[in-house]
Structure 1
């Protein structure tokens, strides 16, 4: 599949996820909501517009934030594999250790830098016991 096709198909999935979540398909809205959740370098309205128009695909860390926010699997959002299924909020005992670790890491990335530091300190303290 060509890079252009991948970008266009990503755009279709992104717009579908926005619509299903009852959010407008608006670069300004997407930019603002994304930047409220992402603690790295903020994106511009132009970047959000490029995602919506199929001119660009965000990198992994940005895809993760989009997937968490829109409640769709990251794999589906990026590659379109399987059908989008809402993530389960409760921990399923049949999940593998890696899936649970990944789930908590995704939640950790959504925390503000100050809260991330608190979690780090707590883990350091608990691991010394």
Structure 2
């Protein structure tokens, strides 16, 4: 059994329980099919979700998430991925001022060959800076 599928199944069962539903295939089939306007899921199909054998399509995942009141990315990927994304976004939001944002916007408007050149220049400066910091740290020891 795939680890991602098993983890999804566990999160699905937990979300059903937290929403006040028994994590049983019959309950999942009934509740899902009352909210989904596509082809209905079979009892066997939802049982495979709960056992970690398959994953729902994106469209079906959105229906599950809305019904159970959880963000779809948390249901599909778990809390770790959600918190990593939030930490990374917070780092960007707090660490970049309006002048840096303007530079990034200007960079994105450049043609691809010019962006490649600018990227190489920035990476070269970053490597030199890292080497200087490493030399200073070695000298301090």
TM-score by length of 1: 0.60
Picking from 19, 22, 35, the partner of 1:21 is 19
* The structure with more radius of gyration: 2
Q: Secondary structure at the match of 1:48?
A: helix
Q: Runs (4+) of structure 1 moved beyond 2 Å?
A: none
Which structure dedicates a bigger proportion of its chain to helix? 2
The equivalences for 1:45-56 within 5 A come to: 45-56=43-54
Aligned residues: 81
- State the shift of 1:82 in Å: 3.3
- State the shift of 1:19 in Å: 0.7
Picking from 32, 35, 41, the partner of 1:34 is 32
Q: Secondary structure at the match of 2:75?
A: helix
- State the shift of 1:22 in Å: 1.1
Partner of 2:8: 10
In structure 2, runs of 5+ residues without a counterpart are: 84-141
Picking from 64, 70, 73, the partner of 1:72 is 70
Partner of 1:122: none
Cα RMSD of the aligned pairs, angstroms, is: 1.3
* d(CA) in 2 for partners of 1:28, 1:12: 17
In structure 1, runs of 5+ residues without a counterpart are: 84-129
Q: Secondary structure at the match of 2:2?
A: helix
* d(CA) in 1 for partners of 2:27, 2:16: 10
TM-score by length of 2: 0.55
